[in-house]
Structures are given as structure tokens and as C-alpha cells.
Amino acid sequence: MDLQTIWFILIAVLFIGFFVLEGFDYGVGMLLPFLGKNDDERRVIINTIGPFWDGNEVWMITAGGAMFAAFPHWYATLFSGFYLALFLMLLALIARGVAFEFRSKDDRPGWRSLWDWVIFIGSAVPALLWGVALANIVRGVPIDADMNYVGGFFTLLNPYALVGGLASVSIFVLHGAIFLNLRTAGEMESRAHRTAQRAWLPAVFLAFLFVIMSYFSTDIFTGHGVNPGVVPIIAGVSLLLAGWLLHNNHLAWAFTTTAVAIAFITLTLFMGLFPRVMVSSLNPDWDLTIYNASSSHYTLTIMTIAALIFVPIVLVYQYWSYRRFWERLSPQSELEY
């Protein structure tokens, strides 16, 4: 296995980790104004992700950094072509981080309500745009022979990509609602359970619609990429199983199955894409691949050594943080983020 393949796999793993962890994070943020009936309940909802949200975003930053260093042409084409969408995503993430910090600076109801809605927007916009971005990457965008994106912003807003964005939003809402089931107590836990049961059917419908559209709009199941085979079946079965587990109150297993569904949906997209990193809708010969978009062998070697040292440290720290702060919260809890 060459270094280009290794780094493609590593970037895929980073994105899988990001979507699984940040998925419930975004879901909780989108549910905040609706599940929290008063300030104490909304504080509890924020407390459930308070120790984790910034650590979860490290996966995205690391994936972007790895993309920049290992495949600079991929990074350049993606960030120039998707510039406006990524700029909107960045603004939303900045506003979301500010909202977590500023919400508790004033106890006026209007002030706190404002920042609660900023958290909602800062969670919903990235959840939508990540689905849109991944769908466009596998569907193909206009890239010329010089690896330049030659489309516009509205080129990205095609029906397939929008369904991908809605699917990611719905699955993240389901994932976040189940997470709140595991992290809250009392009436909040019951409310989160009911919300998760209601969110399951839209998530299943949009996910399966996205898979069907992927068959007709992309070549990830029929093209020259690695055929994902049983992988999307596992994702679909996991998502279906989550509904049965929710109905029978097996919450930890339900959370596990939504995490597996998110991971295997992402894996399906990366497997179908390989060895390409971006598909050109103008000419297959102009696709960006792990070979024509990569850095030098020396650069990849140094990066591999650094990854072998630091990635285990990050994983151990994140495991410790989840173990340390994992407990059920209620309005009577003394924790405040």
C-alpha cells in the first residue's frame, strides 16, 4: 500500500470520526430551542455537550490539515470552488463557539434566547452544508484540465446535493436526540426519547432517498472506484435497527447503531470515490486523484511519522474526556457550562 492510499484512508477515518462525534453535537444544538422549555432546561442541554464540542471539532481541523499537507491540489480546488459555502460554514461555527461562551454572561431572558438561536443556526448550517459538500464531491463538479473549479455557487445547489444536506441534518438530529436520552434525566430524558422516535422516520426516508439518488446520480456503486458492496447495507440496517431499539428503550444500543450508520454512510462515499478525491463533471480525465493531487513522497513520509506519534495521544485524551464527564444531567445538577 503506497503512502497516498494510506493518507486517503486516514483522512476518511478522520471524517468518519468527525461526523460520528460532531453529528450528535450538531443534533443537540439544533434541538436546543425546541426541547428546552425554560432556561434551566436549555442550560442542561448545553451542559451535555459542553465538555466535548470543541474537542469534536478537532477532528475536522485535523482532517483539513491532513488534506492540505497530503493532497494540496485537492485542498486548493475544494476550498476555491466551495469558497462561499465553506465561508458560510466557518461563520456559523465561529458564531456557535461565541454563543457557548457569551450565553452565560448575562441572565436576561432575551440575551440568552438570542444566543440559543445562534447555537441552533451554528449547528444547522454546517450540518446541512457538509451533506451538500460531500454529495457534490462524489457527484462531480466542473473542474477543468488545470484542476480549477469553473462553476458557481448555485452549481452546488442541485437536487442531489440538497437531498444529501437534508439527509445529514435529519440523521444528526436523530443522533443528537438519542445522545440527550443518554445524558439527561427526568422529564428532559422522556422528551428527548419522544423526539428521537419522531426523528427516526424522516432520517430513514431521507437517507434511503439519498442512496437511491446516489445510484442514478453518481458512479460510486458502478464506477471505477472501490465497490462499497455490503457497506451501505450495514448503514441501512443500522438505521432501521435504531428505530426498533428506541421503541424498546435500548438507548445505548440505539446510539451505537446511529453512530454505525453515520460511519458506514461516510465510508460508502469514500470507498466509491477512491482513488479519486474530486470528480470532474466535464471530463473523467480531469478528475483529481490521490496521485495527481498529492504531495511529495518525502512530505508524506514525515507526515506519517508525526501521525504515528500524535494520533494515539489525541485518541487517549478524547477517550479520557468522555469517561470523565459522562453522567446524566438534570436542572438540579450543579454543573454549569
pLDDT at 294 over 50: yes
Mean pLDDT of 23-35: 94
At 164, the amino acid letter reads G
* Cα–Cα distance for residue pair 309/171, rounded to 1 Å: 34
**In the chain, beta strands by DSSP E:** 276-278, 288-289
Assigned C-alpha cell, 102: 457569551
* Percent with pLDDT over 70 in the chain: 96
Return the bridge partners of 149, or none. Answer: 143
- Model confidence at 337: pLDDT above 50: no
CA distances to 47, 100, 104, 131 from 116, in Å: 13, 9, 11, 23
In the block, residue with C-alpha cell 469517561: 323
With a CB cutoff of 8 Å and minimum separation 6, the contacts of 197 are 243, 246, 247
Alpha helices for 140-186 (secondary structure H): 159-183
DSSP single-letter state for residue 224: S
Determine contact, residues 74/278, Cβ cutoff 8 Å.
Answer: yes
What span, in angstroms and rounded, lies between the C-alpha atoms of 172 and 56? 14
Asked if the model's pLDDT at residue 48 lies above 80, the reply is yes
Residue 141: the pLDDT is 94
Contact assessment for residue 183 and residue 328, using Cβ atoms and an 8 Å cutoff? yes
Q: Which residue has the cell 440568552?
A: 112
Instruction: Tell me the C-alpha distance between 179 and 278, whole Å.
Output: 33
Q: Would you state the cell numbers that stand for residue 58, as one nine-digit string?
A: 478537532
How far is it, in rounded angstroms, from Cα 30 to Cα 11?
27
pLDDT at 335: 46
Q: What is the pLDDT of residues 235-285, one digit of tens each?
A: 999 999 999 999 999 999 999 999 999 999 999 999 999 999 999 999 999
CB 166 within 8 A of CB 206: yes
Higher pLDDT, 291 or 323: 291
pTM to 2 decimal places: 0.92
The residue among 7, 279, 6 whose CA lies nearest residue 135 is 279
Pairing of strands 288-289, 276-278: antiparallel
Tallying the residues shown for the chain, one arrives at 337
d(CA 240, CA 317): 32
Q: What is the pLDDT of residue 130?
A: 95
**Cell for 99?**
454563543
Question: According to the model, what pLDDT value does residue 332 have?
Answer: 61
Whole-angstrom CA distances from 149 to 71, 86, 289, 316 are 16, 14, 15, 39
For residue range 128-174, list pLDDT tens digits in order.
999 999 999 999 999 999 999 998 888 899 999 999 999 999 999 99
278 SS3 class:
strand
Other CB atoms within a 10 A radius of the CB of residue 196 amount to: 28
Q: Is there a contact between 175 and 129 (Cβ–Cβ < 8 Å)?
A: no
**Residue that is written with C-alpha cell 451538500 in the block:** 132
